[in-house]
Amino acid sequence: MSGIASGMWTTLKHFFTSLRKPVTVQYPEERLPLAVGFRGLPRLVYDLQTGDARCVACGICAQACPVGVIHIDSHRGPDGRKLLDRFDIEAGGCVFCGLCVEACPFDALTMTAGFELAAYNRPALLWPKERLLVPGTPENDANMHWIMSGVEKMGKTPPSAWPRAAQEAGLMPPDGGKPAEAVEPGEAEEKIPAAAGSVSQD
Amino acid sequence: MTPEPAFAVQEEATQEGNLLTINMGPQHPSTHGVFRLVLTLDGETVVAARPVMGYLHRSVEKLCESRTYLQDVIFTDRLDYLASMSTNLPYALAIEKLAGIEVPERAEYIRVIMCELQRIAAHCVAIGTFAADVGTFFTPLLYTFRERERILDIFEMCCGARMTVSYIRYGGVSRDIPEEGIEAIRRFVEVMPERIDEYERLLTNNEIFIARTRNVGILPPELAIAYSVTGPVLRASGVQYDIRRAEPYSIYDRFDFEIPVRYNGDCYDRYLVRIAEMRQSVRIIEQALRDLPKGEIRAKLPRVFRPPPGAAYARTESPKGELGFYVVSDGKTEPYRVHIRPPSFVNLTALAPLLIGHKVADVVVILGSIDIVMGEVDR
């Protein structure tokens, strides 16, 4: 019986020591801090100088994505530069590998702490450019590090998942930019883009 | 048409009634994934068993053919999803063998640290779920998962993800370990030996645990070798074969560690081998941390990676056994063929003879002691 007794003594000791400090985190009221560099949903980096995304629509991220969930449309502007029309990420298909972020030569993509991405319908899982681009100002640029958790800003660990943190900081409207509206099950097929990652330009 | 039972040892029932052919799985809480076992029972005793696999087949090997070598890393995470670092490694080694890439020293040490941490984490799952299968339900499982959580937090610090790490790549590793990561690993190896003692206090001398696992599912060494069983299952049967010693890969020849062996070949010995391997992994991590050099973490590679045509096979000692990747290149950016030799799949072929003569309750214990992950069995 001594083997069973020593096992039960171990669990009994733990019962009393963890009464003082339980390890349970009362999610969603409390959240565990995430590591810096956590790989959540990618987002477009906002360039304070130009007031728009840093992305130049080269399409390297769409090519690097192993599951083809990045969809890019662009056209040539009057000065010959490429202008970004559409930058969609299907959050429902993204595997959060970070290969797009590593591939981007302009540091226009970064991973966030966003993993709480549940939606009520499939089209709402498609994140368009407006949702992926969090606007910044010089004042709130200091707070950006805790919305994103890109490796280049080794600051505090983000307190909670994005975009809720961005909305609470007033950087994003509460409805999250322009999410897709709910559709009837039959209509969903037209609104979802093609299966493979697509880059199209005029 | 009724399927042929494998290893049928008796045609007629010994008791009143008929032989009963019953399905265990694919949805079953104790089959460690979507695994189907067709059992033929004489009363409560198993007289024939036929494993049916393939319920988690995702055609990973075919998918790898239409993606570049770098993009295929994500598939290696999802094969043995409980030991993704250890599955990244042989894929990287095969490509490095193919293209003649030399990995920097710091990356080699980081790889060893990560793989040994992953071995501890995978054995935490194996021992915890094995104890749960035996009947202790959740208590040892949550104790081992407490340490596994610390390891997963270390992985999150180093590469951003807990389970699908995509960390060990051809040429090195993807990110350097931050300072708090090194601190976390150091604190972890200080605490781990006494935690392993705690698991042993719960299980090793527990009379009920011993009664359910001793002399259950004995695998004789000749049969183990005949079935190409590898890993802790083989070492529990008395064969001291570990690829880290037999054919050292990476820098394992620089470390001082033992290969634990047991000689009875039953489920209890497999549990003891895994406990001992966790202790040896802690030793390896301590040595690697002490000798970790500074430097680059990735070899310089061209932006568009095209290995020369050819084929390479790299095998490593994953927590479950010999894991091998066979990569064939035809000079393009995508591999021509990637074939995976999974340890769980080959170890499962030895399951049917182990089950004959045991009771249904022992089926769960034996399956748990072999430690399979259907992600790599079915690919």
The per-residue pLDDT for range B107-128, each reduced to its tens digit, is: 999 999 999 999 999 999 999 9
Q: Residue B250: its pLDDT value, please?
A: 87
The pair of structure tokens assigned to B136 is 């202790």
Kindly state whether residue B160 falls inside one of the protein's structural domains: yes
- Say yes or no: A38 contacts chain B, CB-CB below 8 A: yes
Taking CA atoms, what residue in B is nearest to A99?
B71
Chain A partners within 8 Å of B156 (Cβ): 34-35, 38
Provide the pLDDT for residue A176. 47
Q: Residue B204, CB half-sphere, CA atoms under 13 Å: how many?
A: 13
B39 domain-assigned: no
* Residue pLDDT, tens place only, B196-233: 999 999 999 999 999 999 999 999 999 999 999 999 99
pLDDT of residue A181: 44
Which residue(s) pair with A43 in the sheet? A110
pLDDT tens string A35-94: 777 888 888 877 766 777 778 888 899 999 999 999 998 888 888 888 888 888 998 899
Nearest CA-CA distance, residue B186 and chain A, Å: 17
Contact (CB, 8 A) for B264 and B218: yes
Give backbone dihedrals phi and psi of B11, rounded to 5 degrees, phi first: -95, -25
Q: CB B178 to CB A97 under 8 A?
A: no
Q: Domain limits at B112?
A: 60-354
Q: What is the pLDDT of residues A84-133, one digit of tens each?
A: 888 889 988 999 988 888 888 877 787 777 777 778 888 888 888 887 87
Q: Give the pLDDT score at B12.
A: 62
Cα gap B30→B84, rounded to integer Å: 22
| B57-75 average pLDDT score | 93
- Cβ-defined contact of A95 to B161 (cutoff 8 Å): no
Contacts of A10 in chain B (CB under 8 A): 198, 201-202
With vertex at residue B174, the alpha carbon angle to CA B170 and CA B175, rounded to the nearest 5 degrees, is 150
Closest CA to A70 of A83, A82, A52, A58: A58
What's the pLDDT score for residue B114? Answer: 94
Would the CB atoms of A1 and B207 count as touching at under 8 Å?
yes
Owner of token pair 């880059």: A199
Q: From residue A162, how far is each of A32, A145, A146, A159, B271 by CA, in Å?
A: 14, 11, 9, 9, 42
Judge whether B91 lies within some domain.
yes
User: Are B67 and A66 inside 8 Å of each other by CB?
Assistant: yes
* CA separation for the pair B105, A25 (Å, rounded): 40
Interface membership of B20 toward A (CB under 8 Å): no
| B10 found inside a domain | no
Q: Report the half-sphere exposure of A201 (CA within 13 A, side-chain side).
A: 14
Average pLDDT taken over every residue of chain A: 71
pLDDT in tens, B137-148: 889 999 999 999
How far apart are alpha carbons B316 and B91 in whole angstroms? 10
- Euclidean distance between CA atoms B231 and B273, whole angstroms: 10
- Of residues A68 and A169, more confidence is placed in A68
% of chain A exceeding 70 in pLDDT: 63
H or E, element range at B80:
none
Contact A90, A75 (CB under 8 A): no
**Number of domain units in chain B:** 1
In this prediction, residue A179 has a pLDDT band, given cuts at 50, 70 and 90, of very low
What is the mean predicted confidence (pLDDT) over B159-182? 89
Tell whether B74 is within 8 A of chain A (Cβ): yes
pTM reported for the whole predicted model: 0.85
pLDDT of B356 over the 80 cut:
yes
- pLDDT tens digits for B309-339? 999 999 999 999 999 999 999 989 999 999 9
Q: Do A96 and B161 touch (CB under 8 A)?
A: yes
| Whole-number pLDDT of residue A44 | 82
3-class DSSP state of B272: helix
Task: Inspect the interface and report whether the beta carbons of B156 and A96 lie closer than 8 Å.
Answer: no
User: What's the length of chain A?
Assistant: 202
What distances in angstroms separate CA B258 from CA B255, B267, B284, B322, one per listed residue?
10, 21, 10, 18
CA-wise closest residue to B289 among B204, B184, B372: B184
Residue B14 — pLDDT band, cuts 50, 70, 90? low
Closest listed residue to residue B172, CA positions, set B232, B83, B231, B101: B101
- Summarised one tens digit per residue, pLDDT across range B235-263 is 999 999 999 999 999 899 999 999 999 99
Q: Is the pLDDT of residue A192 over 80?
A: no
Residue B337 contacts A where some CB pair is shorter than 8 Å: no
CB of A36 within 8 Å of a chain B CB? The answer is yes
Out of A10, A37, A99, the one facing B175 most closely (by C-beta) is A37
Please tell me what DSSP assigns to residue B253: G
Residue B16, pLDDT score: 63
Q: Is the ipTM of this complex over 0.85?
A: no
Mean pLDDT confidence for A3-8: 88
pLDDT for B170 beyond 80? yes
Q: Is residue B163 part of a domain?
A: yes
- Higher-scoring residue by pLDDT: A29, B204: B204
The answer to whether residue B135 neighbours chain A at the CB level (below 8 Å) is no
Confidence class for position A190, pLDDT limits 50, 70, 90? very low
Is B164's CB within 8 Å of A95's CB? yes
B238: left (phi over 0), alpha (psi -120 to 50) or beta: left
- Let me know if residue B257 belongs to a domain: yes
Residues β-bridged to residue B324: B315, B341
Which domains are present in chain A? Answer: 32-183+195-201 (3.30.70.3270)
Average pLDDT rounded to a whole number, residues B75-81: 91
Size of interface A-B (CB pairs under 8 A): 66
> Would you state the pLDDT for residue B197?
93
Going by pLDDT thresholds of 50, 70 and 90, the confidence category of residue B60 is: very high
Q: Sign of dihedral through CA atoms B74, B80, B85, B90?
A: negative
- CATH number of the domain that B175 lies in? 1.10.645.10
Is B45 part of any domain? no
* Residue A13 neighbours by CB under 8 Å, 6+ apart: none
Residue B32 in domain: no
**What is the 3-state secondary structure of chain A?**
CHHHHHHHHHHHHHHHHHHHCCCCCCCCCCCCCCCCCCCCCEEECEECCCCEECCCCCCHHHHHCCCCCEEEEEEECCCCCEEEEEEEEECCCCCCCCHHHHHCCCCCEEEECCCCCCCCCHHHHEECHHHHECCCCCCHHHHHHHCECCCCCCCCCCCCCCCHHHHHCCCCCCCCCCCCCCCCCCCHHHHCCCCCCCEEEC
